[in-house]
Amino acid sequence: MGVRWEQIVVDSEDPARLARWWAEALGYRIVHEAPEEVEIRRTPDELPGLLFTPVPDAKTVKNRLHIDLRPEDQESEVERLVDMGARPVDIGQSNVGWVVLADPEGNEFCVLSSPKKDAQ
């Protein structure tokens, strides 16, 4: 029996708004939109995707699962994401090579060091 990773579901206060934010952040596009869910993917057929669904409660604690992004230029990418509405957060990390940000609804994600820095 085979299995395939279809998507990650993201609980959201405003699924359409948050899906659009992540689509812009990742260079994805909306492939499905309905009142109760919005799905984004890199291309319509490429998996996995992110599926945003509504929940009545605001996020109150640290994520148990998060996304790691590996940009070509960490500093520029962090600046771009912050300009889009992300904010730096402290989840207890100390002197590490990644930056922890939160999306507009407070979901934490990491912007890892650039590949060129890892090769040194």
Domains of the chain: 1-55 (2.60.40.4320), 59-120 (3.10.180.10)
- Mean residue pLDDT across the chain: 91
Q: Whole-model pTM? A: 0.89
Taking only the tens place, the pLDDT of each residue in 59-101 is 888 888 899 999 999 999 999 999 999 999 988 788 888 999 9
Show Cβ contacts of residue 78 under 8 Å, excluding neighbours closer than 6 positions: 99, 101, 111
For residue 40, pLDDT beyond 50:
yes
For residue 118, pLDDT beyond 80:
no
Q: Note the pLDDT of residue 90.
A: 86
pLDDT-derived band at 120 (thresholds 50, 70, 90) equals very low
